[in-house]
Amino acid sequence: MPVGTLGTVKGVSQDVLEELGVQILLGNTYHLYLRPGIDQVRKLGGLHRFMSWHRAILTDSGGFQVFSLSDLRKVSEEGVTFRSHLDGSSHFFSPESATEAQIGLGADIIMAFDECTEYPADRGRARNSMELTLRWAERSKTYFEGHKHEVPWRTDGAVPSAPTQDGPTQVLFGIVQGGMDLALRKESAERAIEIGFPGYAIGGLSVGEPRSLTREVVEATLEYLPKDKPRYLMGVGTPEEIVEYANLGVDMMDCVLPTRAARHGLLFTSEGKISIKQARYASDQGPLDPNCRCRTCSRYSRAYLRHLCASNEILGQILNTIHNLTFYLDTMRSVRHSIGLGSLEQGKGPRLLSGEQSQLKP
Among 11, 79, 104, 106, binds a copy of itself (CB under 8 A): 11
The alpha carbon of residue 15 and the mean position of all alpha carbons in its chain are separated, in whole angstroms, by: 20
Of the pair 131, 284, the CB lying nearest a copy of itself is at: 284
CB of 298 to a copy of itself, least distance (A): 10
Alpha-helical regions (H) of 196-313: 211-222, 239-248, 257-263, 302-310
CB of 286 to a copy of itself, least distance (A): 12
Among 223, 271, 313, 356, binds a copy of itself (CB under 8 A): 313
Residue 254 a catalytic site member: yes
Stretch that binds a copy of itself, among 131-139, 142-150, 309-317, 353-361 (CB under 8 A): 309-317
CB of 5 to a copy of itself, least distance (A): 9
Residue 156 a catalytic site member: no
**Per CB under 8 A, does 36 bind a copy of itself?**
yes
Cα 61 to Cα 204: distance, rounded to the nearest angstrom:
13
**Per CB under 8 A, does 122 bind a copy of itself?**
no
Distances from the Cα of 103 to the Cαs of 34, 38, 60, 61, 240, in angstroms?
A: 16, 9, 12, 11, 34
Stretch that binds a copy of itself, among 72-80, 100-108, 177-185, 277-285 (CB under 8 A): 277-285
Of the pair 149, 302, the CB lying nearest a copy of itself is at: 302
Cα 252 to Cα 101: distance, rounded to the nearest angstrom:
22
In what side-by-side order are the strands of the sheet with 90-93?
74-75, 80-83, 90-93
Cα 209 to Cα 30: distance, rounded to the nearest angstrom:
24
**Per CB under 8 A, does 266 bind a copy of itself?**
no
Of the pair 55, 307, the CB lying nearest a copy of itself is at: 307
Beta-carbon contacts of 344 under 8 Å, excluding residues fewer than 6 positions away, are: 352
Catalytic residue among 108, 114, 181, 254: 254
CB of 55 to a copy of itself, least distance (A): 14
**Per CB under 8 A, does 230 bind a copy of itself?**
no
CB of 50 to a copy of itself, least distance (A): 6
Catalytic residue among 60, 108, 181, 289: 60
The region that residue 352 occupies, defined by phi over 0 for left and psi between -120 and 50 for alpha, beta otherwise, is alpha
Cα 361 to Cα 191: distance, rounded to the nearest angstrom:
31
Beta-carbon contacts of 351 under 8 Å, excluding residues fewer than 6 positions away, are: none
Taking alpha carbons only, the member of 117, 9, 114 closest to residue 63 is 114
Catalytic sites, residue numbers: 60, 254
Q: Which residues are near a copy of itself by CB under 8 A? A: 6-8, 10-15, 35-36, 40, 43-45, 50-52, 282-283, 285, 295, 299-301, 303-304, 307-308, 310-311, 313-315, 317-319
